[in-house]
A and B are shown apart, each in its own frame.
Chain A
Amino acid sequence: DGGITQSPKYLFRKEGQNVTLSCEQNLNHDAMYWYRQDPGQGLRLIYYSQIVNDFQKGDIAEGYSVSREKKESFPLTVTSAQKNPTAFYLCASSIPGLINSPLHFGNGTRLTVT
């Protein structure tokens, strides 16, 4: 079955360490996204990519970095520059150029930084 796999489900890190969240999809979607969700709140866009080797900053990109070397993969690095990294991170994919194409989400990674 096609879908999006995020790993790990839970991640614990010490303050000052960089950490990379994995996102892999086999839906053959060109567009991929990273969202952050804080408790009781909506989703905020961190980065998105419409095509391999290209990505754009979203609304809250500071302290994060991404790469898109393969169509299937869009890893997110949370750097030590991110002031409040503890959050729930969701990866998603979609078909660009098709307005009725919904976002397909992974199951998320819950990051705790102490």
Chain B
Amino acid sequence: AQKITQTQPGMFVQEKEAVTLDCTYDTSDQSYGLFWYKQPSSGEMIFLIYQGSYDEQNATEGRYSLNFQKARKSANLVISASQLGDSAMYFCAMREWGNFNKFYFGSGTKLNVKP
């Protein structure tokens, strides 16, 4: 089974609107961390936000927030007030306590922000 599933290969959003990028994960560990990365067309991977499995509050970083639903094993990224510069690939990733060495990545979602 895939550890990280991103079911939206591509999405469009109007500038200044909010958008939600989906991510579901599969783990039997009680302790794990969830990460979101942005990859612009230039290729670099930019760390956006982190959510720990024991964190009771949803993580927020500026315009990024993580909608963490532990029982559903979902960790959706919400981008508020989209900007043209948000157009990029977005990857969800997970790290498990039982296997610190590995980060599991999803296949990504390509977000296009329309003016």
Using a CB–CB cutoff of 8 Å, the interface residues on chain A facing chain B are 31, 33, 41-43, 45, 48, 50, 56, 58, 88, 90, 92, 94, 96-97, 99-100, 102-108, 110
Query: Can you offer 28 A-B residue contacts whose CB atoms are under 8 A?
Result: A31-B101, A33-B103, A41-B107, A41-B108, A42-B107, A42-B108, A43-B91, A48-B101, A58-B102, A88-B43, A90-B45, A96-B100, A96-B101, A97-B100, A99-B31, A99-B32, A99-B33, A100-B33, A100-B52, A102-B35, A103-B47, A103-B93, A103-B103, A104-B47, A105-B45, A105-B46, A107-B42, A110-B43
Alpha-carbon gap, A107 to B35, bound state (A): 19
Q: How large is the interface on B (under 10, 10 to 19, 20 to 34, 35 or more residues)?
A: 20 to 34
Judge if B105 is at the interface, Cβ distance under 8 Å. Answer: yes
* A73 CB → nearest B CB, Å: 19
Alpha-carbon gap, A100 to B93, bound state (A): 12
